[in-house]
Amino acid sequence: MSETTPQTAMAGTTEPTLDTDELLRLESLCVHFPIYKGLLRRHAGDVRAVDDVHLSVKKGEVLGLVGESGCGKTTTGRSIVRILKPTSGKILYQEEHGKVVDLAQLNDRQLFKYRADIRMVFQDPFSSLNPRLTVGDIIGEVLEIQGWRKSDINDRVRYLLEKVGLRPEYVGRFPHAFSGGERQRIGIARSLATNPRLVVADESVSALDVSIQAQTINLLQDLQEEFGLTYLFVAHDLSVVEHISDRVAVMYVGKIVEVADKDSLFGSPKHPYTEALLHSVPKPDPKRRRLGTVPKLKGEVADPANPPRGCYFHPRCPYAQDKCRVERPALRALPGGRQVACHFAEELDLEGIPAVE
């Protein structure tokens, strides 16, 4: 069973509410995958891919979600767009007129109207596009499902291709005719087809060459400004996250361990895992390097099917104490709007990365 926090206990049938600047909030979100063993398919446990996550996404921001592979970032994103059904918890979404709905409780029919508002850009531009459909069909399919007229769909597809830097004449081509960067632009155009409010970008540049990554990031920023988008930007490359994000949430073994605005998190981390991530990224600029002052991160990400007792990070943490091995830290608020899940966040003097000049 996952832990609960007092802030999620709601008496009776009180309608959920969000702050006026919030677009989405996750409350005690859990996504567990059952493990079955033996001929009788006995339930032997669960993989806790997302385990009691609390996270808020503000209107118009880019929230970076970072962590090593296997920490639950992609599963969190897929549960938000309801590709995956949460095991428990809430996904509170604020509509344009202020009504708040819990997406986690809706069935497929009820979710239909919200699938236009929350869209996703997938990681692999080669496997996320149907090779048997033309570009026009790939982008226009969602509009057809939403009930658009054929003539309006054609106009919309051509318009979107122009917006992502591709020629409108490409509507009749198939995905194999495009490079990886161009395919990802098609995927971005598809995600924007229905005028969404929130776009979950799942490792959307990690499969691209470095030069193409920069072009794609700049495109995403331009589109955000033009269309008034909010992004949840899932990534493991902190240099990319630093460039595009307003705030950053750090995830480890299904849990959020730190949330802060970009400058505060990169300049002064409060969780040992955040410090280790920051200093694991190669830095070409000598002014941003710390030579041997930060302990190297050892070991592998803990098994979400059998996480360690206490703080999940303590077997790898160079600052771990006895309390860390027996008591799991809760995600708590610190001054300045920061949140951290570490017993000794106020006592540790962790090293950040000097700001880019």
* 293-323 pLDDT per residue, tens: 677 778 889 999 999 999 999 999 999 999 9
Taking the C-alpha atoms of 297, 303, 306 and 308 in order, what is their torsion angle to the nearest 10 degrees? 10
Q: Which residue has the tokens 């705030």?
A: 247
Closest CA to 34 of 19, 45, 20, 24: 45
Are 356 and 337 in contact by the 8 Å Cβ rule? The answer is: no
Per-residue pLDDT tens over the stretch 254-267: 999 999 999 999 99
pLDDT-derived band at 289 (thresholds 50, 70, 90) equals: low
- The number of CA neighbours under 13 Å toward the Cβ of 188 is 31
Q: What is the mean pLDDT of the chain?
A: 90
Closest CA to 238 of 72, 70, 68, 120: 68
Q: Is 268 helix (H, G, I), strand (E, B) or coil?
A: coil
Taking the C-alpha atoms of 310, 312, 313 and 318 in order, what is their torsion angle to the nearest 10 degrees? 20
Closest CA to 244 of 214, 270, 269: 214
Per-residue pLDDT tens over the stretch 27-82: 999 999 999 998 889 999 999 999 999 999 999 999 999 999 989 999 999 999 99
Are 100 and 136 in contact by the 8 Å Cβ rule? The answer is: no
> How much is the pLDDT for 7?
45
